[in-house]
Amino acid sequence: MKGAFKNPLLTLGIIMMAIFVFQLREQGFFGKSRYRTTSCSGALATLQKYKKDYWDLDCDGNTMVVKINYLRSEYLGQLDQMQSQDAVRSFLYKDLANTLTTIAVRSPNELLERVDIIRLHLKLPQLSVNVITEGKDIAPLAQMRDTKNIASLLQDTVQVQESWNE
C-alpha cells in the first residue's frame, strides 16, 4: 500500500489499463469465435483469389455460403433476352455446375472435404435459386472432366429449390 502512495501515476496507470482490458472483454474482443479457424475459412481464403466480381463468399461456422447475383454480372443482357423458362433454367444449371466445379478446383481438396455444408443462393431477374450440398460430395469434381459424370454426381448430391419471379 505504501508503494501505491509513493507512485500515484503508476497506480493510476494500472487502474486505467485494467478498465481498458475489462472493456475489451465486454465487447467480445477475447471471444473464442473471433479467432476460431475452420475448414471453411481456410478454403475460402484460397477461393477469394479466384472469385468473380458478382460472387459474395462467407462462412457461417463451418458452412460455406456463396451468393451469386447475376444482376451485377456480365450475363445480365443475355439473361434479359431469354424468353422461355427452359432457356433460363438451362443457363442456370450450366453455370451452377461451372460454379461448383470452380469451388472444387480452386479450394484445397482436404479442406473442402471437411466443410460441412455448401449453400449457394443464385439471383437472376426471372428466378431465385437456393442450392445446398456437402463439401465432401463436390470435392471429387476437381478431378472430373467428363460432363456426363459431373452431371450424374450433381444430380445425386445437390439439392435445388427454384422460385420463379413473376
Digit-coded pLDDT (tens) for 105-124: 999 999 999 999 999 999 88
Q: 30-34, 66-70, 158-162: which range is least confident on average?
A: 30-34
Please enumerate in sequence order all residues whose Cβ is within 8 A of that of 61, keeping only pairs 6 or more positions apart, or say none. Answer: 38, 40, 116
Quote the CA–CA distance of 139 and 148 in Å, as a whole number.
17
Burial of 155: CB neighbours in 10 Å, binned 0-12, 13-18, 19+: exposed
Quote the CA–CA distance of 90 and 160 in Å, as a whole number.
14
Q: Which residue has the cell 478446383?
A: 105
Domain layout of the chain by residue ranges: 1-36, 39-164
pTM to 2 decimals? 0.74
Quote the CA–CA distance of 126 and 92 in Å, as a whole number.
11
DSSP class of 34: T
Quote the CA–CA distance of 122 and 71 in Å, as a whole number.
10
Q: 29-33, 36-40, 89-93, 108-112: which range is least confident on average?
A: 29-33
- Considering Cα of 103, then 109, then 111, then 116, what sign does the dihedral take? positive
% residues pLDDT > 90 (the chain): 38
Please determine, for residue 69, whether its predicted confidence score (pLDDT) is greater than 60: yes
pLDDT digits (tens, 9 = 90+) for 82-109: 778 888 888 888 889 999 999 999 999 9
pLDDT of residue 4: 65
